[in-house]
Amino acid sequence: MMKLETLPRRAVSVGLAGLSLALIAAFGDPEHFWPSYLFAHLFWLGLSIGSAAVVMLHHLTGGRWGFAIRRVLEAGARTIPLMAVLFVPIFFGLSHLYEWTHAEVVAADEVLRHKSRYLNVPFFSLRAVLYFVVWIALAHLVTKWSYGQDRTGDPRLSQRIRTLAGPGLVLYGGTITFAAVDWVMSLEPHWYSTIYGIKFILGQVLTAFAAAILLAAWLSRTRPLSEIATSDAFHDLGNLLLAFVMLWAYVTFSQFLIIWSGNLPEEIPWYLRRTQGRWEVVAGLMVVFHFLIPFLLLLSRAVKRNVRTLAALSGMILIMRVVDLYWIIMPAFEERGIGLHWSNAAAFFGIGGLWFALWAREAARHELIPVHDLGGLGERASHG
Amino acid sequence: MSEEKGPRVEMATPFDPRAAILAPGHTYASITDKISALVLTRRTPRGWFLGFTIAFLLLMLLLFTAAYLLATGVGIWGVTVPVGWGFDIINFVWWIGIGHAGTLISAILLLLRQRWRTSINRFAEAMTLFAVACAGLYPLLHMGRPWLFYWLLPYPNTMGTWPQPRSPLVWDVFAITTYATVSFLFWFIGLIPDLATLRDRARRRFWRILYGFLAMGWRGSARHWARYEMAYLLLAGLATPLVVSVHTVVSFDFAISIIPGWHATIFPPYFVAGAIYSGFAMVVTLAIPLRKFYELEDFITMKHLDNMAKIMLATGLIVGYGYMMEAFMAWYSGNPYERYMILNRLRGPYAPVYWALLVCNVGVLQALWSARVRRNVRALFAIALVVNVGMWLERFVIVVTSLHRDFLPSSWGMYRPTIFDWTMFLGSIGLFLTLMFLFIRLLPVISIFEMRALLPETAPTPGGGTMRPAEAPTTS
């Protein structure tokens, strides 16, 4: 069985191999490479900032569920600087990705001319920098204070994180919304939907939750995490996973129903592109594997209390998160004949490898449980 | 409910009065005495008669308006082309929204094991029922011929017609009747053990028979309690989707159309958040006078007000996010009708209403970031009132500004509510308050047995641990 300490080295080799392959694509086949890279980056970035959001949410609300996955999520939040560095290449691929970067296309299109005050490269870049500054600052402070508490045991640090978490979540909601508009919605620059930001927020939080359950299940085979990651904790996590699966389905279905019933020429093409040909199968898979099966299984107490079944289910949800993001991003390039391509996997595993390497390094450097901030679980775990 | 408890973080000693959900110094007997006395022994305060009289007069206003409406027709209201939906739908959405806090407190907070819900759930649930009753009046009366309301239901009939299944108005019929039914069952089942307490304590024969009849033979045996808890949990599970579904369907009434300002994908979550926001504002509006006049500060503590203020802040911020996305996307869309819709809200004839709603729902709300404001009863009461008004204005803006200027300038018009729109609105507030006053007088406003179950938390046992509620005696 793999150990946390040996994970970084293996993950780095996977990451470097993937990125080298992706680099070949970048020069040989840039039309395929850039969508792949954007998709891969947004998935892993979503996991990073989703982790930061769940950590802040737990600081704000408390509850037994959060202590078992706190350190897993914090390590995830620490990967945001890496994702910022990996975002830099995207600035060089803007013209391959976004129609609105082409002056002649914009000049010929009245709607795009109107939008050029928002969708232009300087403002786009400025906003991207701003988003990353906000995310890095939030993740840095929240994790620094939490790790610091392991050393000093100062309860005021918890209070400080709590004070930051409220405004932090507001900032997170605002930045991720506009990031979703900038990076994904503007791939199809005529289309718009007001629920889009919420859909992304819930998608990222669900991704972070599923990943955290999976990783906590793996790490809880040994002490110290096994002390607090009990079946009670997994039961609570399973309930929350169910809630987020339902919320995701709720906003996804709401958007679909409203656009379908309106059937307006500027809105419906988004769904037409995503339900034609092979994409219809993908959409059907999501109904079954992203909603129906997790929903029905997570109603069962036995499934939630058993670490193995819950972890398997989280793994399935995580795979469906990848599929969902692929389904959201890739059909935008369909008209240019860009679809499934080996560079999808290369970029995905390339960035993912580096992500995991950093995650594992951060997770191994600190205690796996927040020893001085365990709420009512404290006595049992620290003296056990 | 009693087997699984969250981390017992809140039970920390030494006792922190700000974190208490039940003031110290109470015994099982004192809780029962204090709450049941409101109904059984205490003299009805003069303020109650005064309040009830005012509420009852307003209710009469509703009856006169409704009678005149049925005799004359909906033409007495200000609704006309192009604004065919006016106060009736505004008030309908407003009241339905208010009802949501009760369901959220009783169902979702129960499932999340938020024990502070205990002292506010009873009257919040009653508030839900009365608000749904007020809401239901409007679509019924707007039909013009309310005695034919059953045409809304799909049943085989000689006319050979069915309601249009693609219309969210038809979904509304199912959503709201289900909601009203489940809310009533939830409230009534929760009342049964307390009705038995009242039966046992009532001195006059009439009340003993009445409460005894309603208590349905409750004896408080272990088997009764086991079944009761099972039923209550199952109902909570059933009621949870209703918190989301009802206002989602109400939002579809608007969003399924293609009118700019109505056809927005954010409407479902934004309406649900707005409903919970306005509902909690109403619970705070009712709880603060209630705890003051009936000296219930021991039971509805600062902790309750603080928590409710936090929920208002969270849901209000989501509502603010909704306003932001509506405005941003209208501009970003590049669609001239969408852009005009938001410009018309900002600068058109109803602009003062739009700005007022932003101040009420987003501006004033920011004060709740401060713990000092949240713990200042008067400030909180004022903010809750402002939010109640703001949420009404929000529905006014959504309904009226989108309809009065649509795609064709030649079909534009203005909406002016008539005196009967106002009397109908005031009258429904009268109905709500009348029912509320009767409820306060005739039934225990706070759940007696659930408060008793909280008691062990305020009284640490000598061993340093705390007695679990399940071990505490729960019958009288």
Question: Residue B9 and residue A115: Cβ atoms within 8 Å?
Answer: no
Whether B2 has a pLDDT exceeding 60, the answer reads no
Q: Give the mean pLDDT of chain B.
A: 87
Map out the domains of chain B with their CATH numbers: 23-154+161-459 (1.20.1630.10)
Most distant pair of Cα atoms in chain A: their distance: 70
Average pLDDT over residues B109-124: 82
Q: Which residues of A touch B6 (CB under 8 A)?
A: 63-64, 376
- Evaluate whether B445 touches B35 at the Cβ level (below 8 Å): yes
Please give the pLDDT value at position A1: 56
Q: What would the pLDDT profile of B415-472 be if each residue is shown by its tens digit?
A: 999 999 999 999 999 999 999 999 999 999 888 888 888 887 665 544 444 444 444 4
Please give the pLDDT value at position A46: 96
Question: Residue B269 and residue A251: Cβ atoms within 8 Å?
Answer: yes
Whether B46 has a pLDDT exceeding 70, the answer reads yes
Please give the pLDDT value at position A226: 78
Q: What is the chain A residue with the closest CA to B261?
A: A194
**Regarding predicted confidence, which is higher, A292 or A6?**
A292
Q: Give the mean pLDDT of chain A.
A: 91
Percent of chain A at pLDDT exceeding 70 = 97
Taking the C-alpha atoms of residue B93 and residue B83, their distance in angstroms, rounded to an integer, is 16
The count of C-alpha atoms lying within 13 angstroms of the C-alpha of B105, restricted to the half-sphere facing its C-beta, is 33
Residue with tokens 């909690």: B280
Q: Which residues of B touch A174 (CB under 8 A)?
A: 321
Average pLDDT over residues A56-75: 89
Please give the pLDDT value at position A375: 67
Any idea where the domains of chain A sit in the sequence?
Answer: 7-382
Name every residue in B having a CB less than 8 A away from some CB of A.
4, 6-9, 166, 244, 248, 252, 255-258, 263-269, 317, 321-322, 325-326, 329, 332-335, 369
Average pLDDT over residues A52-57: 95
Q: Which residues of A touch B252 (CB under 8 A)?
A: 257-258
Q: What would the pLDDT profile of A267-312 be if each residue is shown by its tens digit?
A: 999 999 999 888 999 999 999 999 999 999 999 889 999 999 999 9
Question: Residue B244 and residue A250: Cβ atoms within 8 Å?
Answer: yes
Amino acid at A40: A
What's the gap in Å between the CA of A202 and the closest CA on chain B? 12
Pick the residue of A171, A176, A258 with the most B CBs within 10 A to test the interface with B by mutation. Answer: A258
Nearest to A194 among B6, B256, B326 (CB): B326
Please give the pLDDT value at position B370: 93
What's the gap in Å between the CA of A44 and the closest CA on chain B? 26
Whether B7 has a pLDDT exceeding 60, the answer reads no
Average pLDDT over residues A126-132: 97
Question: Residue B332 and residue A375: Cβ atoms within 8 Å?
Answer: no
Q: Which residues of B touch A250 (CB under 8 A)?
A: 244, 248, 268-269
Closest to B96 (Cα-Cα) out of B137, B148, B56, B62: B137
**Neighbour count for residue A137 (Cβ, 10 Å):** 14
What ipTM score was computed for the predicted complex, to two decimals?
A: 0.93
Please give the pLDDT value at position A330: 93
DSSP state letters, B161-191: ----TT-HHHHHHHHHHHHHHHHHHHHHHHH
Q: Which residues of A touch B369 (CB under 8 A)?
A: 166
Packed helices A121-152 and A30-61: angle between N→C axes, nearest 10 degrees: 40
Q: What is the chain B residue with the closest CA to A192?
A: B333
Q: Which residues of A touch B258 (CB under 8 A)?
A: 262, 264
Please write down the long-range contacts of A87-96, taking CB distance under 8 Å and 24 or more positions apart: A87/A41, A87/A45, A87/A128, A87/A132, A89/A37, A90/A34, A90/A37, A90/A38, A90/A41, A91/A125, A91/A128, A93/A30, A93/A33, A93/A34, A93/A37, A93/A38, A94/A121, A94/A124, A96/A30, A96/A31, A96/A33, A96/A34
Taking the C-alpha atoms of residue B355 and residue B346, their distance in angstroms, rounded to an integer, is 7
Q: What would the pLDDT profile of A147-206 be if each residue is shown by its tens digit?
A: 888 888 888 888 899 999 999 999 999 999 999 999 999 999 999 999 999 999 999 999
